[in-house]
Amino acid sequence: MHTAAMLPPAYPPSIGEGRLLTEDELAASLAHTMRDWDGRQDLWLFGYGSLIWNPGLPTVAAVRGKVHGYHRGLYLWSRVNRGTPERPGLVLALDRGGSCAGIAFRLAGPTAQPHLETLWKREMPMGSYRPAWLPCTLETGERVNALAFVMRRDVPTYTGKLPDPVVKEVF
């Protein structure tokens, strides 16, 4: 049931048309994030939303894991994944504080590069996330550094903490 009083005064939010990152910008972001990786060693990817059920790339292992210092929430306005240009929806993102359980995927280093390029096109088209290497504790107790996509707070697609009734209405 739609209740206009439940929606924020600026709904749909004014997030502008948005601009897709160019191929060069995506490549530069990926290169910067992976600058210390030699291309041979396996690496870990932390999934906390759609990556859990659809990583979209071949993995060597999938293990439950937890990151601290970030929590998962519906903090990203989206016109594509959930919503339309006229009525944006909400997408999960990692934001500061707390902890988040998810799935840590191990990628085979020697074959990872083309899959990382595809992952960047999927997760980073508008630059709403900041790729980060986060300490992740696996269910085995092992600690690894895992690549995760953290919400940027300086972009118009960042929602901040919305009241629960608004999230329920929009989502």
As annotated, the active-site residues are 123
Amino acid at 5: A
- 90 close to 159: Cβ distance less than 8 angstroms: yes
Give phi and psi for 65, each to the nearest 5. -150, 170
Burial of 71 (0-12, 13-18, 19+ CB in 10 A): middle
Burial of 148 (0-12, 13-18, 19+ CB in 10 A): buried
Q: Residue 66's beta-bridge partner residues?
A: 101, 137
